[in-house]
């Protein structure tokens, strides 16, 4: 079985990137991510959504599938960047570490991280929480999650893609597919969909921060966090005076 593990903060555009990866690898368009387990078309490609939060039930659902799984995609949200449902002690061991999951030997393993501009990410989470659509955390816990993922990327421990690069840079999209999966980007992003936006139909994906007013205590947390400021810059993002 092939294994694809993805770690991302919620509201980072990761479902759209997942849809794009799936369509590149299978040729099948993902219409939505409404179900915990998604079988792609009539293929043996399967995805378990929020796998870090649905460990027992998710694993059981995979075992109950009628068709054998050839490729399994596991999506971890707001998780430690080295979390894995597959390996011992839930810690990622590396692509060359042998493992068995739900009765299948892992033959090929792929892992990557997704990250989004900190300010736009926290704005999307805050707005979603206010609207009542999604109870996302946007305080200290989210800041730690974002930093943990950013730190792994800065230290070059995993493949990664920035949401902004995926959205705007076809060369970086293509190189990412080559580096991680050994194939070119064959589908582009024009017809790719993810999950519902926390801002509804507003399309200004690159400037979400200017569309909200964060609470003062959140602003104070951001102002005082020197490591956060460093990681924002190290990833090529712009620090904001708030």
| Mean pLDDT per 10-residue segment, the chain (242 residues) | 96 94 94 87 89 92 90 97 92 83 92 97 90 80 97 96 97 98 96 68 67 91 97 95 82
The secondary element (H helix, E strand) that includes residue 16 is: helix 14-26
Residue-range definition of the domain harbouring residue 105: 2-234
CATH number at residue 23: 3.40.50
* Predicted pLDDT at 197: 62
Number of compact structural domains in the chain: 1
Tokens coding 188: 């582009």
* Predicted pLDDT at 193: 78
* Predicted pLDDT at 137: 86
- Per-residue CA distances from 146 to 16, 121, 129, 221 (Å): 19, 9, 17, 13
Dump the DSSP string for 132-184. Answer: TS-----SHHHHHHHHHHHHHHHTT-SEEEEHHHHHH-HHHHHHHHHHHHSS-
Q: Model's pTM, two decimal places?
A: 0.92
* Predicted pLDDT at 147: 98
* Predicted pLDDT at 187: 95
Is 37 a domain residue? yes
Is 241 a domain residue? no
Tokens coding 20: 């794009």
What is the distance between the alpha carbons of residues 229 and 239, in angstroms, rounded to a whole number? 6
Is 170 a domain residue? yes
Is 28 a domain residue? yes
């Amino acid at each position: 079985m092939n294994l694809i593990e993805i770690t991302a903060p919620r509201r980072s555009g990761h479902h759209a990137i997942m849809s794009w990866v799936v369509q590149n690898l299978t040729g099948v368009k993902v219409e939505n991510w409404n179900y915990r387990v998604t079988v792609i078309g009539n293929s043996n490609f399967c995805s378990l959504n929020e796998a870090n939060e649905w460990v027992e039930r998710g694993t059981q659902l995979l075992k109950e599938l009628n068709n054998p799984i050839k490729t399994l995609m596991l999506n971890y949200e707001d998780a430690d960047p080295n979390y894995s449902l597959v390996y011992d002690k839930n810690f990622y061991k590396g692509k060359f570490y042998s493992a068995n999951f739900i009765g299948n030997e892992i033959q090929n393993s792929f892992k990557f991280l997704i990250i989004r501009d900190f300010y736009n990410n926290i704005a999307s989470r805050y707005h979603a929480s206010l609207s009542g659509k999604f109870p996302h955390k946007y305080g200290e816990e989210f800041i730690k999650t974002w930093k943990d993922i950013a730190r792994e990327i800065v230290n070059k421990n995993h493949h990664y893609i920035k949401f902004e690069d995926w959205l705007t840079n076809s060369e970086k999209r293509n190189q990412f597919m080559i580096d991680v999966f050994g194939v070119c980007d064959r589908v582009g992003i024009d017809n790719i969909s993810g999950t519902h936006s926390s801002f509804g139909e507003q399309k200004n994906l690159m400037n979400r921060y200017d569309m909200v007013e964060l609470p003062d205590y959140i602003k104070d947390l951001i102002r005082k966090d020197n490591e956060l400021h460093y990681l924002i810059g190290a990833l090529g993002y712009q620090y904001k005076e708030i």
